[in-house]
Structure 1
Amino acid sequence: MEMALEWAGSSAVQAHAVLALSGLTSLYITIARPTIRLAADGSHTCPPASLWEAGTSPALSSVAMCVFRFVMAVYIFGMGGMQFQRMGAYVFKFYTIWNWWLLGIYFTLAATASALCALAETRSARARAATAKPTVTAAAEVDNSNGSAALDASRSAVGNVAKSAPETPKSLQRATLLSRTCHALFMINSSTVIIVDCVCWGLLYPMLARGPQTPETQRIIRRLLLTFTSYNQHGLNALYIFTDLFLNRHRLAFHATGPLGLWSMAYAVWAHVWHAKSGKWLYPFLDTSKPWAPMAYFGLYMVHWGAFGLVALLYRAKARLYSSNGKPLAAAAADAARGKGKTD
């Protein structure tokens, strides 16, 4: 009995218990409120994740949104590729790199969604223009005595139709695997950039800088933290995804904390596999032998909730910004900030 109590009271067991409970909680949220798929009975259990929401913007045209996202994807993958070429597969050990490439995947898929929206809108505009042309011909034939005036009036009407806000094409109103995946990846990335940046500069860098300055520690600081690439991956990454946040139509979804937790859980499993293989922890705060390990693991789990809360605040700021500027769809942005528009 004493051995069992001693075993249960060890920091390693408690830390792993916290990790297991956080993983089960995330799994429950993911299953109970799926982000990417529909429920088994076909009911909608997630916020609308239509292609229109994934690919368009209340501030930019679909073409401009596509260009922005495509440039970001090229930039992210280009930097990641050069880093891989320079340092090898070694860099994929780190959570930062996992999230950097996930950010690139999001912008790639989101650019694809924007491209599909641009194509659909172009086809819809052409179809509307085609249906308006017979009106011009009919008007010219009705009044032969004043055909020029009638023709000008009809052309003016057609021009007004072309300039009016077009309806959303039906092909963009449905939810697809692409649109749901974009929504899920966006919600994960918008939270993980906060986690990566805060943990790096608020926890990891101080621990390394104040700890024993071994050659390996100095190499990590010099090669992985204090570089242009690091400033992108531990700071500007937030600027990239939050720029997209203020431009896109993705809705705030509380249950996205499920996939977010599972994503981080997957990395925690990988970190333990690496430790079992090499005997070294990828990050000092993951060391389960330390007496503060249970609190560290619990703190990391709570950081995810805190990061998601900050994202929710940004959604509110976005709603106020659109409302104060009188932009179109300000009401939709406000609904997104309040989590409305769900079809549970």
Structure 2
Amino acid sequence: MALEVHAYDIVCFAIVAAALVGATWIIRSKEAPDKSPDETLLETILTPETHGSHTGVTPVGYIGTHEVWESCWRGVHPLWLLATRAVSAVVMVFFLVWDIEDWSLTIFVYYTEWTFTLVIFYFVLGTIVSAHACWEYFKKGSVSNDERTTFLRRDIEENMGHGSNGMEGNIKLQGNHEQKETKQRARFLGYTMQIVYQTCAGAVVLTDVVFWLVIVPFLNDDRFSLNLLMGSMHSLNAVFLLLDTALNNMRFPFFRMAYFVLWSCIYVIFQWVIHACGVSWWPYPFLELSTPWAPLCRLL
């Protein structure tokens, strides 16, 4: 089947291409401003202290390991954040399974399900990180709470290059090689959590605002009525993410919203591909659009 390309198709392709290029340029320039050409983004995530350790300036995208599992509220125990993330993941998995049972896997042609799944991934990852950190926290139960917190923060900060002499003078519980591997693993998970967290933030705002302010007020088709499942799929993601935001201690460097742009562009490209392959059936009949603008209209 031959595909016809119109003028508005080219405009749509150009918008997505510009967004991809712009987001990629921002990520490369902000994530690793001092990198040499042969280094990779993964190396940057694993060793963020190289960005500015020689100047003593903390990189704009830096996140301390303790920030991904501690609460921003001084009196809130980390277990509350762990419980919040675990409950959020379980409840959201329940509603996603319900959604799949009602509509089958074809429901994943929609941006809402992509975003909902990404939020679940964030909460599952956050639960794992919080559980491991709390386990390490309670293993040091022989010291007082204040001493324990001081020890953990000093251990983390010195390991990440923010102490007076890096590894030297640090209280070591493991050999240097094992400690380095643990440090890198913690950094990778921490930066992954923050990237997914900010991608979720943009995607959730987009889906829920469009649904509640654009779609719902103009419902006039009997084939599409608001129900508990649909309302939950477009609200629980925001509720749980806002609750986690109120409790967590993670920073929010604005440039990482570029990952949200990449996420959205990948979805649009996915829609173009399945449309080019002849997929024309959609769970919601009133969204049967045939132009390249259709993926933008299906961000629901």
- Shared fold (TM-score greater than 0.5)? yes
Picking from 53, 60, 82, the partner of 2:67 is 53
Aligned-partner Cα distance in 2 for 1:162–1:77: 35
In structure 1, runs of 5+ residues without a counterpart are: 1-6, 129-160, 302-344
Aligned-partner Cα distance in 2 for 1:171–1:112: 21
Post-superposition offset of 1:246? 1.1
1:273 aligns with: 273
Aligned-partner Cα distance in 2 for 1:37–1:251: 20
2:35 is aligned with 1:24? no
1:315 aligns with: none
| Residue correspondence of structure 1 range 203-242 to structure 2 within 5 A | 203-205=214-216, 209=219, 213=221, 218-219=222-223, 221-222=224-225, 226-242=226-242
Post-superposition offset of 1:125? 3.5
In structure 2, runs of 5+ residues without a counterpart are: 33-40, 52-58, 161-185
1:144 aligns with: none
Give the length in aligned residue pairs.
Answer: 245
2:81 is aligned with 1:68? no
Aligned-partner Cα distance in 2 for 1:79–1:300: 20
Picking from 100, 105, 129, the partner of 1:84 is 100
* Moved segments of 4+, more than 6 Å: 280-283
Structure 1, residues 119-167: CA drift from partner, whole Å, max 9, x if none?
22212342x3xxxxxxxxxxxxxxxxxxxxxxxxxxxxxxxx5566731
Aligned-partner Cα distance in 1 for 2:228–2:121: 21
Aligned-partner Cα distance in 2 for 1:164–1:227: 51
2:206 is aligned with 1:190? no
Aligned-partner Cα distance in 1 for 2:145–2:260: 43
Aligned-partner Cα distance in 2 for 1:14–1:205: 29
Q: 1:104–1:238: structure 2 CA closer, same or farther, 3 Å change rule?
A: same
Post-superposition offset of 1:272? 1.1
1:249 aligns with: 249
Q: 1:286–1:26: structure 2 CA closer, same or farther, 3 Å change rule?
A: farther
SS in 2 for 1:166: helix
Instruction: Report if aligned partners of 2:118, 2:200 keep a CA contact under 8 Å in 1.
Output: yes
Aligned-partner Cα distance in 1 for 2:140–2:280: 60
* Bigger radius of gyration: 1
- Residue type matched to 1:271 in 2? Q
Q: 1:14–1:232: structure 2 CA closer, same or farther, 3 Å change rule?
A: same
Aligned-partner Cα distance in 2 for 1:257–1:265: 13
Post-superposition offset of 1:286? 7.3
Post-superposition offset of 1:81? 1.6
- Residue type matched to 2:279 in 1? S
Structure 1, residues 265-301: CA drift from partner, whole Å, max 9, x if none?
1110111122222246889597546xxx59x96x999
Aligned-partner Cα distance in 2 for 1:89–1:300: 16
Instruction: Report if aligned partners of 1:56, 1:249 keep a CA contact under 8 Å in 2.
Output: yes
Structure 1, residues 235-283: CA drift from partner, whole Å, max 9, x if none?
2321110111111011011221221111111110111122222246889
Picking from 149, 154, 170, the partner of 1:166 is 149
Instruction: Report if aligned partners of 1:58, 1:247 keep a CA contact under 8 Å in 2.
Output: yes
Aligned-partner Cα distance in 1 for 2:30–2:264: 18
Give the TM-score normalised by structure 2.
Answer: 0.71
Give the TM-score normalised by structure 1.
Answer: 0.62
Answer 1 or 2: which has greater helix percent: 1
Post-superposition offset of 1:46? 5.2
